[in-house]
């Protein structure tokens, strides 16, 4: 399907089904903390700017931001993850409650802290980021608890998103079991990938790497690509992982969608009118694509919606999400 032939009638039908859809989200959750202020002097202790903090905000990050994106679309997300047994976990659960997201599948652990990324902002410029985390794979007991939550949610879910930020939740053998169950039940499963886990993704419905991640997947050095380079890159990944679909995000160049059945690549130029912050854009892409695909969209229609949604979110500072009305409006419907 040519993106130019997509009809608003079809898009409206797809989006209208979001509210009747449920998607499991498994992956690494975190808090994105922002300290907002201004710089008026340089520190006498070192040649660094002093940010006079005026306010602090906290937002959902990682897999929790995928959940927020789905919730904003009207989809019912089922979050499965693990956080610490600490004050930041209370903050995480509180933010989830504010967006009316059930956190029954969010488990607590004494073995790891709740991940928090603190960005210090001077006006709209990020000065520095500080990460508080402990990167370690889940132990056997934690894996079994995650699996039990997955088994509970699986029968009523229309699809599964695995949001891999490389912090420990996505690891063998847990994800192997989850992917195998999805494939054997012919249930949609999408992955936002991380470099160290590429071998785990074989046979899933779709993965959504950026261009740098796509290069790493085939062991190539990252560089700027021609359209022919991107085409070769995509088909190598498709063949290596036996994927039905692949969606590579190309930053200011938009997206490239690969379809195995039709053996074609579709380029979707960027829809972003302005770019303030790309934080969380990948979360938006996989959320909208997954929601649309599970609601009957063709791969091109799903990518078309995801591309327009990403164009809206990168125009906002920090992680952002899109509601159905804004999404359709961005698509010209």
219 neighbors 240 (Cβ within 8 angstroms): no
> What is residue 321's three-state secondary structure?
coil
Q: What are the DSSP calls for 131-189, one per residue? A: EE-------HHHHHHHHHHHHHHGGG-SEEEEE--SSSSS-TTHHHHHHHHHHHTT-EE
CA atoms within 13 A on the CB side of 73: 35
> What is residue 57's three-state secondary structure?
strand
* 16 upstream amide cis, omega within 30 of 0: no
| Given the residues 137, 228, 283, 323, the one annotated as active site | 283
CA distance 168 to 143: 10
Let me know if 283 is a catalytic residue.
Answer: yes
User: What is the distance in angstroms between the CA of the first residue and the CA of the last residue of the chain?
Assistant: 18
Q: What are the DSSP calls for 239-261, one per residue? A: HHHT-SEEEEE-GGG-EEEEETT
184-204 burial, b if ≥16 CB within 10 A, otherwise e? eeebbbbbbbbeebbebbeeb
Q: How far is CA 267 from CA 14, 131, 259, in A?
A: 21, 35, 12
Helix ranges (H only) for the chain are 8-16, 63-73, 87-98, 140-153, 174-184, 211-217, 227-241, 281-294, 299-313, 324-330
286 neighbors 66 (Cβ within 8 angstroms): yes
Other C-beta atoms closer than 10 Å to the C-beta of 134 total: 12
Active site (catalytic) residues: 283
């Amino acid at each position: 399907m040519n993106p130019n032939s997509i009809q608003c009638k079809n898009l409206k039908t797809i989006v209208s089904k979001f509210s009747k859809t449920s998607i499991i989200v498994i992956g690494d959750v975190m808090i994105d903390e922002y300290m907002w202020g201004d710089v008026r002097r340089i520190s006498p202790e070192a040649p660094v700017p002093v940010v006079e903090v005026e306010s602090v905000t906290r937002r959902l990050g990682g897999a929790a931001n995928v959940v927020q994106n789905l919730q904003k679309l009207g989809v019912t997300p089922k979050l499965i993850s693990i956080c610490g047994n600490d004050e930041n976990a209370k903050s995480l659960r509180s933010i989830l409650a504010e967006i009316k997201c059930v956190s029954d599948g969010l488990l607590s652990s004494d073995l790891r802290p709740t991940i928090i990324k603190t960005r210090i902002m001077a006006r709209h410029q990020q000065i520095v980021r500080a990460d508080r985390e402990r990167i370690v794979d889940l132990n056997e007991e934690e894996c079994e608890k995650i699996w039990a939550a997955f088994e509970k949610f699986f029968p009523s879910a229309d699809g599964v998103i695995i949001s891999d930020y490389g912090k420990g939740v996505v690891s063998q053998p847990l994800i192997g079991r989850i992917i195998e169950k999805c494939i054997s039940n012919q249930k949609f499963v999408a992955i936002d990938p991380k470099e160290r886990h590429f071998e785990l993704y074989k046979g899933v419905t779709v993965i959504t790497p950026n261009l740098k991640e796509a290069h790493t997947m085939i062991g190539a050095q990252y560089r700027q690509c021609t359209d022919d380079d991107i085409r070769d890159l995509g088909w190598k990944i498709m063949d290596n992982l036996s994927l039905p679909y692949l969606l590579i995000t190309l930053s200011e160049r938009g997206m490239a969608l690969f379809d195995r059945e039709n053996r074609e690549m579709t380029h979707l130029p960027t829809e972003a009118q302005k770019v303030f912050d790309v934080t969380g854009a990948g979360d938006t892409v996989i959320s909208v694509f997954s929601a649309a695909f599970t609601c009957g969209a063709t791969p091109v229609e799903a990518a078309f919606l995801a591309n327009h949604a990403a164009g809206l979110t990168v125009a906002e500072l920090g992680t952002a999400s899109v509601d159905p009305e804004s999404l359709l409006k961005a698509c010209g419907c």
